[in-house]
Structure 1
């Protein structure tokens, strides 16, 4: 008996399940789950284009909106196209009308794209006449060709003459004519040569944005709201970056236009600066553009450590160049707030439903087999499966909404069916000699796993269709169902088979 127990514990399937279970528990402990707006609360906005658009244009609209809303410092944003005219925007943890109206303003604005060099704006989105398809080279370098207007090309040629290696910046919706209050470390980074490309002698990013956009940057040193207002005289707004949140409340009480940008978890000073300014670049100026001759056909180039990263970087620049001004006007036609209290109720009910489902599974399996040694492992495996799914969701920061939770329950329900198939096959063998019993067990396990893999394949195929071709809440349901099925057939189901063989006396 001890030998069989030791053999079970050292089985690689049991070890794999244990490792994934421990890893999931640790992940959930250090990285809490994130929830969608139907659980955590938030606002959902429905925007409509002026006229129907094709799929490519709609993708450009959604990508552009995602980038713009990210600059606001909002978390848990989803932008989804629904048909050829409707865009659904969901933002979690937004409960005030002021925040919602700010989001509405961003959605309905066309946005402004700027090209800047040495503190001078030489072109805007209106000067981008054409954007070519980006190219990825075998060495993972990339290029995005585009054409600028004759006037922008002439202005740029004059500015760039003899300045090879100097930084060329691109901005999407920077905070023009504003006062930025930032942490001291952020101020020092902006005032260093970190954003100077290959020309340390060039003006710093802080100098460039001050000249180009009249953005004043001040390091936060416990200034009062009154002191900040004095510094902001003549500015359109104040941008608070990673400073105490109570300043926002105090300034808004004084009828000051304020934009508050918190630092995301683990976000570096460099990344925070890029996000707040809507900055793309800086790009090092090539020698071919420093001869003083206007060139309308230009390109942005870069390199990446792998092809996937190169694809992402090139795609981002392509989208920014194309979306300097949205290709179609959007109007917000609907807005709905979802209360966090209602979400807390959903979360509690989902927890109770999960516990009730596990108890029900335990009792039904027991009454079917009249053996606790079968019922307990089946229910325990379902619990382990749920924990691993939640661990994966926490690891990749998947926003759990009600359809996602329904997908988890559906996957676990499928798992119980498959465990019963395994159990029935094990109980259906004839008890003859040890050798024939082992041979029979292998055949029965083969039959059971054939059924399991066939069932899993059909489920994944059906859910993949929803994941690819549908939008909205169906995606969450499809994703968690597929994740649960994969975890089941690769991790929990093989481990349960080993446990069941041990408990039912098979070897």
Structure 2
């Protein structure tokens, strides 16, 4: 058999190449990336998490050690970041937390790169039963996950844990983070806003929008529009009928004005109790529904904006909805959009129902909690107390990483020596070891694609998997070569 004509060999080669591309190893990478910017930092609003700092005062920044030299600096700093130059007068506190640029696309756990683990205990009301406590824990985790998505934090793990006495806690793990970053996450509460857009079509350069019982003429003025004698552009705001509208888009044919229906102050209460919320089967799937209490002013704005929005019929369900949705924002980040039932048009309901559906109960429950968290402005439903804080420094994590690499290399050498002693020919030993290395590369490649966190337990699992693979190859080799010796487990 011609070795290079075997399709399985080429499949393995392609898998290894694809995995190496996914991992993107770059052991010579240098530089730092911003992890966190303190609100008191002179660079707050100028430098953002995720940006790379190339140099400070014309000196190249190769690692976090270089940044430490400027931690207590006083004077003018010239910071070159992401192709931009920022000049700031500083007085001893940069307020920046940075990390070294990764040498690969692998997502390493806090055991290997350092980080913080916090155990939080909810402060329950005395009369709460166990079922309500469990529900509250789930709401806390859902709220924290919502905050994580809003603020662009992707490397945080939230988990409900129990002690031997049955008490439940919330555990937060953040690789490469400090306790201050986690404290900041716990303290954040977003600004909620809900918008309903109105499309105004232009005829001969102008159009009319009706808000409440009054009509407003909108005239096109180049890339802007003119309303009540005032010229405004995209993202500008104007008040029409006591409702704040923002210009979302302007074209030659139409413009879109988004009316701010609700704010954080308008959402008086989000109901979680079984009397006002439920999850149930609906047809072949599941649906959720929960009630909210809104202010009279918010209900009136909703009625005025939706009064003359056209209605459309859903071809799948036969239900009637308004042609425009309501868009939910948290800290100016679009979180979701909901359809509006045609029966709500022009009506000032102070206790509307929020409904939704999905294919599975788990999916529906997750969506319900997420929406409840958004409507609550990301506010935590209960006070949390820190019971325990574990911090692993980046230097200690680096030592763990070196120890792990040495252990893996030692394991490969030990396996290759034992296999060599058994078969005494490189024609057998080399393919076995190449297959072993290929398995490791493919596993790491898949891990980088699916963003699987590589920690100490994961590495132990990889080593065990590869060891099992070597066992299988030895058995196959003995069977193919016709040997019947006792095969010892590697």
Q: TM-score range by the shorter chain?
A: 0.5 to 0.7
Do the aligned partners of 1:166 and 1:199 also contact (CA within 8 Å) in 2? no
Q: Do structure 1's residue 33 and structure 2's residue 102 form an aligned pair?
A: no
Structure 2: distance between partners of 1:275 and 1:294:
23
Q: Does 1:103 align with 2:185?
A: yes
2:120 to 25, 47, 70: 47
* Match among 422, 434, 442 for residue 368 of structure 1: 422
Q: CA deviation at 1:161?
A: 2.1
- The answer to whether the 8 A contact 2:295-2:350 is kept is yes
| Count of residues paired in the alignment | 315
For the 8 Å contact 1:42–1:94, the answer to whether it is kept is yes
Aligned residue among 146, 156, 175 for 2:290: 146
Corresponding residue of 2:202: none
Mapping for residues 152-171 of structure 1, pairs under 5 Å: 152=294, 154-164=296-306
Provide, for residues 3-51 of structure 1, a one-character-per-residue CA deviation record: whole Å limited to 9, x for no partner: x12xx43334323222211110111128621211111222111111235
Answer 1 or 2: which has greater helix percent: 1
The equivalent residue for 1:316 is 367
1:90 to 173, 180, 194: 173
Quote the residue 2:204 is aligned against: none
Please report how far the alpha carbon of residue 73 of structure 1 lies from its aligned counterpart in structure 2 after TM superposition.
3.0
Question: Following TM superposition, by how much is the alpha carbon of 1:314 offset from its aligned partner in structure 2, in angstroms?
Answer: 7.3
Return closer, same or farther for 1:57/1:314 CA change in 2, 3 Å cut-off.
closer
Looking at structure 1, the residues matched to 280 and 366 of structure 2 have their Cα atoms a distance apart, in angstroms, of: 7
User: Is 1:280 aligned with 2:331?
Assistant: no
Contact kept, 8 Å, 2:122 with 2:169, in 1: the verdict is: yes
Answer whether contact 2:142 2:369 (CA < 8 A) is retained: no
Structure 1 position 332 matched with structure 2 position 386: yes
2:452 aligned to which of 384, 398, 412? 398
Q: Cα distance 1:32–1:288, how it changes in 2: closer, same or farther (>3 A)?
A: same
* Residue 417 of structure 1, aligned match among 471, 474, 481: 471
Match of 1:68 among 112, 133, 147: 147
SS of 2:269's equivalent in the other structure is helix
1-side partners of 2:138 and 2:351: how far apart?
27
For the 8 Å contact 2:193–2:330, the answer to whether it is kept is no
Please give the alpha-carbon distance, in whole angstroms, between the structure 1 residues aligned to 2:22 and 2:282.
36
Asked if the contact 1:58–1:81 (Cα under 8 Å) also holds between the matched residues in 2, the reply is: yes
Unmatched segments (≥5 aa) in structure 2 = 26-103, 125-129, 196-258, 310-321
- For residues 336 and 312 of structure 1, do their structure 2 counterparts lie closer, same or farther at Cα, with a shift above 3 Å needed? same
Give TM-score, length-normalised by structure 1: 0.54
Sort the Cα spacing of 1:134 and 1:396 in 2 relative to 1 into closer, same or farther, 3 A.
farther
- Aligned-residue offset at 1:345: 1.7
SS, match of residue 380 in structure 1: helix
Partners of 1:45 and 1:332 within 8 A in 2: yes
- Establish whether residue 132 from structure 1 lines up as the match of residue 187 from structure 2: no
How many angstroms does 1:369 deviate by?
Answer: 2.3
**Structure 1, residues 458-507: CA drift from partner, whole Å, max 9, x if none?**
xxxxxxxxxxxxxxxxxxxxxxxxxxxxxxxxxxxxxxxxxxxxxxxxxx
Q: Give the deviation of 1:409 after TM superposition.
A: 0.8
